[in-house]
Amino acid sequence: MTDWESLSKEHKVQLNHVVTLLHRKYPDVLSRESIAGLVMDSYTRLAARAKVTKWLVPFAERLAGERLQALTLLEEGAARTIPTVLFLCTHNAGRSQMALGWFHHLAGDNAIAWSGGSEPAGELNPVAVKAMDEVGIDISKGFPKPWTDEVLAAAHIVITMGCGDSCPILPGKDYEEWEVSDPDGQPLEVVEAIRDDLETRVRDLLVRIGATDIWSGRE
């Protein structure tokens, strides 16, 4: 496990800056000390599997930001009306990232979605990235990450894809298992078919959760 003392001086400075930024953005959610712990925990989780360490700090900032966003939504409780979805697969490198890409593209600000994996890979599936780019959706800035308790608790619907018993189960959540083929190791034409399957599923999901008013067809 990574600890503060083992970090490089550069990463210490960068992470302190991240803590300051997140505390300014979410001043009423957690104390600065607690946000620092959340940032360090996010960094540690990503560092365990990262293949390219130069992106660890910005990725940790984004993961910690998602967790703080989820905590904010949880605080709103019954007053919250915006639907939230969590896409889960094993490696968070292909299917769940593609589904998230479609969701963000089609839902805009009408709904919130996150993704995660039970055993996150070290990098995104490049063929999945290429297939999504073909339809004008850039998922290359995403990164495999673990699911977290905060995000799981804040999600209204949890979509699982092939992670079986390793996917977290929280009583009271609406779970759906999507039987979508794994793009790992598949050629582009197979991944394109998976991409189109996910588009259909995400569009149907958006209809069901009432987040459909910004789109009418593939752009």
What DSSP assignment string belongs to 18-55? HHHHHHHHSTTTS-HHHHHHHHHHHHHHHHTT-S-GGG
Q: Catalogue the active-site residues.
A: 89, 163, 167
Range with the poorest average pLDDT among 90-94, 155-159, 162-166: 162-166
1 band by pLDDT with thresholds 50, 70 and 90: low
Same domain, yes or no, for 70 and 142?
Answer: no
Domain boundary among 44, 78, 112: 78
- Give me the domain span that covers residue 193: 81-214
The predicted pLDDT at position 218 comes to: 46
pLDDT tier for residue 217 given thresholds of 50, 70 and 90: very low
The confidence score (pLDDT) of residue 169 equals: 80
Domains identified in the chain, total number: 2
* Whether residues 167 and 116 fall in one domain: yes
pLDDT of residue 4: 77
Determine the average pLDDT of the residues in 185-211: 96
The last residue of a domain, from among 19, 43, 78: 78
What the block records as the tokens of 145 is 């990450």
Same-domain status, 65 and 107: no
Position 2 scores a pLDDT of 67
Sign of the CA dihedral 6, 10, 11, 13? positive
pLDDT, tens digit, 9 for 90 and up, residues 64-83? 999 999 999 999 886 678 99
Identity of residue 179:
E
- Residue 211 banded pLDDT, cuts 50, 70, 90: confident
CATH code: domain of residue 90: 3.40.50.2300
Q: Are residues 130 and 206 in the same domain?
A: yes
Q: Taking residues 73-97, what's their average pLDDT?
A: 90
**Pair 10, 42 in one domain:** yes
In a domain, 186, yes or no: yes
Q: What pLDDT does residue 72 have?
A: 94
Is the residue at 219 inside a domain? no
Q: Between the CA atoms of 42, 99, 131 and 57, what dihedral angle is there, to the nearest 10 degrees? A: -10
